[in-house]
Structure 1
Amino acid sequence: IAAVVDAQPQAESLITQMQSTIASTRHRSASRTSTPIVYCEEWGKPLIHSQTWVAELVEAAGGRYLGTPGTHTTAEDIAAADPDVLLFAWCGAGNRVPLERVIPQRNWQSLKAVREHRVFCIPDQYLNTPAPTLLEGLACIAAATHPPLHPIHPELIQLGRAEITAAEASSDPDPSQASAWSAK
């Protein structure tokens, strides 16, 4: 595409910058003491694992991607896997995934990620579009996966235990209504 619009030098520069950022994140994550299991959710009804490029970003950030990218899963399968980190980036929801409702609705309160306060919402535009914005998604994933090694990203939303306790578990989160919700 860059050649067609006579923008090859800019495209090559962008590619180099993206590769450099990914390599830097990999290098920083190399000093980790663990490889957390990370569940990334692209959609909540039905539950859908994030796409292949998100799995690659999780690995670059020093995590192990849970599941098969782009496939359906169940709350029970995720509970059985007991991931270390839960990341939500529902398509079209921005950063408005109602984490405080999703966790109790799925009976995930006892998951390791929830007990250790490692439940996050990432703005969907950082993960669901294969574009340069993926670098922001990588920064969010790295901060969620290895917080001592990577700075917290200002748009990464973390769920606290009090929010789960206070949520009304009876309401069933519907991703198509995400714009009406506000994550804390």
Structure 2
Amino acid sequence: MTRGPRRIVCLTEEPTEVLYALGEQDRIVGISGFTVRPPIARKEKPKVSAFTSAKIGEILKLEPDFVVGFSDMQADIAAELVRHGVEVWISNHRSVDGILDYIRRLGALVGASARADEWAGQLEAGLDAIEDAAARLPRRPKVYFEEWDEPPITGIRWVAELVRIAGGDDIFPERAAESLAKQRILEDPMEVVRRAPDIIMGSWCGKKFRPEKVAARPGWDAIPAVRDGELHEIKSPMILQPGPAALTDGIGAISAIIRDWAIRHA
């Protein structure tokens, strides 16, 4: 007997990725247009939402018995669906532990608790292995992670945590603790200059990171990362969504950049 919701609409990528990984993809009847993982989802499932907007009428035609979204940014979409009698779960996790817990909770909702718990444990073990290897690096770089450029927005909590696990130190830990993007806007970009990161990582949601534009910012030529050419793009689908990709491909990319830097600067 099928347990839990049978017709799920996923307003962001991470529930789609989780449900496919758990073998529960047949429950999905609609996905976000920004979904890239797994690639087959884009071929199999109708795209009914962006991030801050959704085709409410198209979603209702799919007759979902459960809709999954993420964060305050989707509050208006959720409210509209609730007014139409649809059950909605808006997760709001912002940490690595939160991502692991999200996998377990979503798995439980579809009757796949054991599989979800096992997978989350495997992901956790992978992070532990990366952290153990990072602890043996000869140096820890200071890292500035930028998730938007105009205005500059610093990295969210799970990104800062992944940087630390990979062997670096996020230069704005106090901002990473803030849940809302508007609280992570840099009013004074020169604060990056003063904190002197060794590495700059950029992941501009929805557009290509332009290291030459970052390097050309007034005064930023004094930053060690700019002086040494340590400006790197992390593709946004693998790091800016609080799902499994961040704990695999995302931290893998971050770890490789930090490891290479540490070896060169030993």
Q: TM-score, normalised by structure 2?
A: 0.53
Bigger RCO of structures 1 and 2 (CA < 8 A, at least 6 apart): 1
* Alignment counterpart, residue 100 of structure 1, candidates 182, 207, 212: 212
Match of 2:163 in 1: 58
SS of structure 2 residue aligned to 1:92: coil
Per-residue CA deviations over 1:138-184 (Å, capped at 9, x if unaligned) read 1111111121779xxxxxxxxxxxxxxxxxxxxxxxxxxxxxxxxxx
Greater Cα radius of gyration, structure 1 or 2: 2
Does 2:194 align with 1:80? yes
Per-residue CA deviations over 1:107-159 (Å, capped at 9, x if unaligned) read 42231112222110100112110101002111111111121779xxxxxxxxx
Is the contact between residue 37 and residue 83 of structure 1 (CA under 8 Å) also seen in structure 2? yes
Are residues 149 and 26 of structure 1, via their aligned partners in 2, closer, same or farther at CA, if it must alter by over 3 Å? farther
Offset of 1:21 from its aligned partner? 1.1
Match of 1:91 in 2: 205
Does 2:260 align with 1:147? yes
Structure 1 runs (4+) greater than 6 angstroms displaced: none
Query: Residue type of the partner of 2:240?
Result: N
Match of 1:19 in 2: 124
Are residues 106 and 20 of structure 1, via their aligned partners in 2, closer, same or farther at CA, if it must alter by over 3 Å? farther
Query: Residue type of the partner of 2:198?
Result: D
SS of structure 1 residue aligned to 2:222: coil
Of the structure 1 ranges 29-38 and 8-17, higher mean CA displacement relative to structure 2 is found in 8-17
Query: Residue type of the partner of 1:137?
Result: G
Is the contact between residue 200 and residue 231 of structure 2 (CA under 8 Å) also seen in structure 1? yes
* Alignment counterpart, residue 6 of structure 1, candidates 111, 114, 121: 111
Q: TM-score, normalised by structure 1?
A: 0.75
Aligned Cα RMSD in Å?
1.7
Does 2:250 align with 1:137? yes
Offset of 1:41 from its aligned partner? 0.6
SS of structure 2 residue aligned to 1:2: helix
Is the contact between residue 139 and residue 262 of structure 2 (CA under 8 Å) also seen in structure 1? no
Greater percentage in helix: 2
Match of 1:176 in 2: none
Match of 2:5 in 1: none
Which sections of structure 2, spanning at least 5 residues, go unmatched? 1-105
Query: Residue type of the partner of 2:203?
Result: A
Q: 1:148 & 1:120 partners in 2: Cα distance?
A: 11
Q: Kindly tell me the number of residue pairs found equivalent between the two proteins.
A: 148
